[in-house]
Amino acid sequence: MKLNELQAGQGKVDIVVTIVEVKEPRTFNKAGGEGRVANATVEDESGRMTLSLWNEQVDQVKAGDKIHITNGYVSEFRGEKQLSTGKFGKMEIVQ
């Protein structure tokens, strides 16, 4: 699977990408709990996309890391496709 093949609303995404940049995390309050979210730019040989990092994921990666997203989800925000692990996916750093 490649970034340029992903469509908004697509689930079960299994992809390996490289982190280009991680932006400053923002905090939010939802259902009485506080959380953090940060946008990262990821790339593969087909292009670039925004990856949403949630809570502990924010501290797990840095620019230059290669990551494997399993069971990810593609959403659309302000007309731009965004990749995330969603509720059921996972992200791991690969060498």
Q: How many domains does the chain have?
A: 1
Amino acid at 27: T
Domain extent for 15: 3-94
Q: How far apart are CA 76 and CA 3, in angstroms?
A: 14
Q: How far apart are CA 48 and CA 94, in angstroms?
A: 18
Amino acid at 65: D
DSSP code of residue 95? -
CATH code of the domain in which 15 resides? 2.40.50.140
pTM, entire model: 0.92
Query: Could you list the pLDDT tens digit for every one of the 95 residues in the chain?
Result: 999 999 999 999 999 999 999 999 999 998 888 999 999 999 999 999 999 999 999 999 999 999 999 999 999 999 999 999 988 999 999 97
Residue 87 makes CB contacts below 8 A (sequence gap 6+) with none
